[in-house]
Amino acid sequence: MLRLLALILVTCSAFGVSTAKADNSELQLLLQKNNCLACHLIDKRKYGPNLKEVAEKYAGDSGAVERLAAKIKAGGTGVWGEDIMPPQAQVSDADAQKIAKLVLSLQ
């Protein structure tokens, strides 16, 4: 099963289906699981900010993991423009923390 998943990931990136690099695959899976990809991509702007931009904006900000984890669940507006991110109540606290950390470590 894992081997099959790896094969699919490799095939997708070889054909340019996914822009995520192999080292972003954990983040990519979490975004997929929590329905974030409707609005966010890792390195292209969609409805919401692209997640590499988010990492750049908060580089060196030690409180950013906690704040972003809370914002992922609560949603909000006004930081990146007028668009609104609706609350994402389906996201567990553990996933919100993990996603915030992985987003902030994007380069």
> Residue numbers of the site for ligand HEC (CB under 6 A)?
34-36, 38-40, 47-49, 54, 68, 71-72, 76-81, 83-86, 88, 91, 99, 103
Taking the C-alpha atoms of residue 25 and residue 20, their distance in angstroms, rounded to an integer, is 7
Q: Which is nearer to ligand HEC, 23 or 61 (CB)?
A: 61
State in angstroms the smallest separation of the CB of 6 from ligand HEC: 24
Q: Which is nearer to ligand HEC, 13 or 34 (CB)?
A: 34
CB 92 within 8 A of CB 73: no
Q: Which is nearer to ligand HEC, 11 or 32 (CB)?
A: 32
Taking the C-alpha atoms of residue 23 and residue 73, their distance in angstroms, rounded to an integer, is 25
